[in-house]
Amino acid sequence: MFIDIDRAKKYNQSMIWTLIIILLAVSWALAWRERAGLSRQKGAVLLALRLGAIIVLGLILLDMFPRLQGRKKQNLLILADASQSMTLNDGQPQNRWQRALAIALAVKLPGCKITVLHTSGNGLQDEIPDSLTQSLNYTNLSEALSLALRNKPGAILLLSDGNHNRGDDPVRAAAAGIPIYVIGFGPAGGLKNALITDVWNDNEIEAGQPAEISLSIKGMLTGGRTGLWENGIKLAEKRLDLNGDTVVTFTIIPKPEGIHRYTAVLENSGKQKIDQASAVISVAKKNFKLLFICSNPGWDLRFWQQAIGLNPAYTADILIKQGTGWKKILSGGQDVPGQLDSLDKYDAIIIGNIKPGDLPTAEEQAIVNLVRQKGRGLFLLGSFHQGGILGQLAPISYSREIKPVIGTVWPAPELFNTGMLEITKEPDLKRLPPLSLNKNHGIRDDRIFLLAGLQASDQKTYPLWARAEEGLGRIVQISAEDLWRWKLAAAGAGRDTALFGEMVQSSLQWVLGRDGSGFEAGPERMLNAQGQEIKFNGRWKHYSRQSGQRSKWAVTIADSSGHKTTYKLADWGNGDFVAELGSLEPGQYSYTTSLELGFGPAQPNGGKQIFLARGKFFVEPGTDELRDHLQNAGRLKSMASASGGKYWDEKDIPEDGGWQKNIKIPVSPNPSGQEPVAGILAVCLLLAAEWFLRRKWGRI
């Protein structure tokens, strides 16, 4: 609905065009009269200069009139809240909407264009109803202000009760550089009922550590209680008598690791739910238990122990085949009889050069199940012969017929993009002593990611270091038989390098899910309110323009029914990525973020996935639109203050309209950003040139 619509702009444009046409006609007539005594060429030059000056003058006028008009006439956008709470009467003959509409229609600012819009489920609408028969069951003031600002008003007059209950913080949206004047409707004051007004908690803790969830509760309540729930189980409860404000804190120990969602429920004395709020805590695992299994302890075991010894996050047990049984060396160094029966308590299993048959089939299957179904890590050291369940699981497999080949380490094309080693280590990697492995090898499938190989004298490269995703778990393999050569190199005999330790550390990090790719991606918030924009952010430390052009970044979202939607993360060109999913319906969602690195036309099967992370996030239902009938004057005042505007309560609005004088609309900037100096100078130069030529040719 528009009030005081100005049509002078079209009228001014018509007058300017009429003036230009008259000047062109007069110029042409003068040229026709002066044709005698001038050659056709000279007459054309004078006419061209005169016409050029007239055309430039016309363009200046066409540009100046709208700008001059814009400086005089400003835009005020009146934004009316059409949510369900605006239908309340507050004991008056008219409800809040009708009272707001009366004020909107009475606004009259001389020389100002006024637009009245109201909120709706389909954005902002200009058809203003007398009564709200189809009011919104939520209030999203942040979204309403964002939509209003797209109209580029000089100022906004917001008519609302301030009961924002969906979307982002409206105070932040109000601080957009345009003054927002606010009139609040409904009685202001304390809460009628007890409500949970805020929740804060530890966002991330280490497994086994306590966490706190605190609730800010305001209002009046006698004989009430508040309980903390997870997955339908009540974890704790506290009784509550309230007349004002209080804080209730619960202390819990979340387990196992992962994302935990808790719901705090506020009940009255009759055990009826008054309000509820949610909190999310991420439990991170920071200490890991490893198991090393081998047939013959030797250099491989000692070297591996040294490689992990400097990392306090790892504790390792060792199982060594001894006759028909096993000997177990605990992390403290004690020897005890061992068995392969408690594999489930380990986060990763490392298998050294083990003889065929030393691992019973049942234990092999148990290890496979731990990797595929429970997401445990598997690290294979040394070649694994084809056959057996684990042999089929190995990324690189070898036949029993041994045909040894010796070669030097050579990194795969995209090793350093995965973050398994820094690019600065490439010269050291190539200087490592030669190793031997079996020529007769096989790559399990095209999902295997080769990290490095051995380049032999026959100019062929044989796989040495590889990794693979397997179900929920991960597998890494270093396949050489004589890693003792690198042990000597690390000790200083020959080449002074110790890269094997770094390879072990990065391999363990990867199989344990502590990804070393340098790529991180996840939701901006684990807990979102209904109507909030869901956003995923990513960061790739090893990004380069070349690798970025050959890569794909994506996030796949699955709702509780299993329906999946995939979004591509937009590449900002500097290693930062973002995907905006919009708002989602309330519920629990799982996500998978991935980075796939392409290798160009040389590999027609496409790229390999170097990053994969899974998780979940939640969208909470919006609060009841009518749960609190009072005006949120504090929020409305904050919005006005953040924008440089002013707040009034509806009862402070006089009928004579004097309050409108306080609405100050800033002067609109020059749309073109430039004054017409250059145009005026061009007109002067063209007319001066015509005068000079006329004088030279004796026409003056």
Task: Give residue limits of the domains in the chain.
Answer: 7-72+673-696, 74-187+630-662, 195-284, 290-511, 519-620
Peptide bond into 256 cis (omega under 30): yes
Q: What are phi and psi of 73, to 5 degrees?
A: -110, 125
| Rounded CA separation 58/20 (Å) | 6
| Rounded CA separation 222/409 (Å) | 75
pLDDT at 72 over 50: no
Say what angle helices 8-33 and 40-72 make with each other, to 10 degrees. 160
- Render pLDDT for 547-560 as a digit per residue (tens, 0 to 9): 666 677 889 999 98
Coil, strand or helix: which one is 315?
strand
| Rounded CA separation 92/4 (Å) | 31
What's the pLDDT at 438?
75
What's the pLDDT at 36?
66
Please state, rounded to an integer, the average pLDDT across all residues of the chain: 80
What's the pLDDT at 50?
76
Q: How many CB atoms lie within 10 A of CB 449?
A: 21
- The architecture of the domain spanning 195-284 is Sandwich (2.60)
For β-strands 449-456 and 404-411, DSSP reports them as antiparallel
- Which DSSP symbol is given to 433? P
Q: What are phi and psi of 55, to 5 degrees?
A: -65, -45
Most confident of 310-314, 527-531, 560-564, 612-616: 560-564
Tell me if 498 sits within 8 A of 490, measured CB to CB.
Answer: yes
What's the pLDDT at 649?
93
**Composition of the chain by helix, strand, coil, percent to 5:** 30, 35, 35
What's the pLDDT at 515?
63
- Which DSSP symbol is given to 385? B
- Render pLDDT for 285-295 as a digit per residue (tens, 0 to 9): 888 899 988 88
What's the pLDDT at 13?
62
Q: What are phi and psi of 392, to 5 degrees?
A: -75, -20
pLDDT at 375 over 60: yes
Q: Residue 353 burial (CB < 10 Å; 0-12/13-18/19+)?
A: middle
What's the pLDDT at 5?
34
Q: Backbone dihedral region of 540: left (phi > 0), alpha (psi from -120 to 50 degrees) or beta?
A: beta
What's the pLDDT at 671?
46
Identical fold between 74-187+630-662 and 195-284: no
Cα 438–chain centre separation: 47
Between 592 and 444, whose confidence is greater? 592
What's the length of the chain? 700
**CATH among 3.40.50.880, 3.90.640.10, 1.10.10.10, 3.30.870.10 for 290-511:** 3.40.50.880
pLDDT at 386 over 60: no
What's the pLDDT at 494?
44
> Which residues pair with residue 216 across a beta bridge?
198, 247
What's the pLDDT at 601?
40
Q: Which of 130-134, 221-225, 410-414, 475-479 has the lowest mean pLDDT?
A: 130-134
| Rounded CA separation 518/542 (Å) | 6
Give the global pTM. 0.59
Q: Which of 288-297, 659-668, 687-696 has the lowest mean pLDDT?
A: 687-696
| Rounded CA separation 478/183 (Å) | 70
- pLDDT > 90 fraction of the chain, expressed in percent and rounded: 17
Element containing residue 267 per DSSP (H, E): strand 258-267
Q: Residue 165 burial (CB < 10 Å; 0-12/13-18/19+)?
A: buried
Q: How many helices (H) and strands (E) does the chain have?
A: 14, 35
**CATH among 3.40.50.300, 3.40.50.2300, 3.40.50.410, 1.10.3720.10 for 74-187+630-662:** 3.40.50.410
Q: How many CB atoms lie within 10 A of CB 366?
A: 18
Between 126 and 609, whose confidence is greater? 126
Cα 145–chain centre separation: 22
pLDDT at 493 over 50: no
Element containing residue 307 per DSSP (H, E): helix 299-309
Task: Give the CA angle between residues 77, 622, 569 to the nearest 5°.
Answer: 80
- Render pLDDT for 139-187 as a digit per residue (tens, 0 to 9): 889 989 999 998 889 999 999 998 887 878 889 899 888 999 999 998 8
Q: What is the CATH number of domain 519-620?
A: 2.60.40.10
Coil, strand or helix: which one is 683?
helix
- Which DSSP symbol is given to 188? B
What's the pLDDT at 7?
45
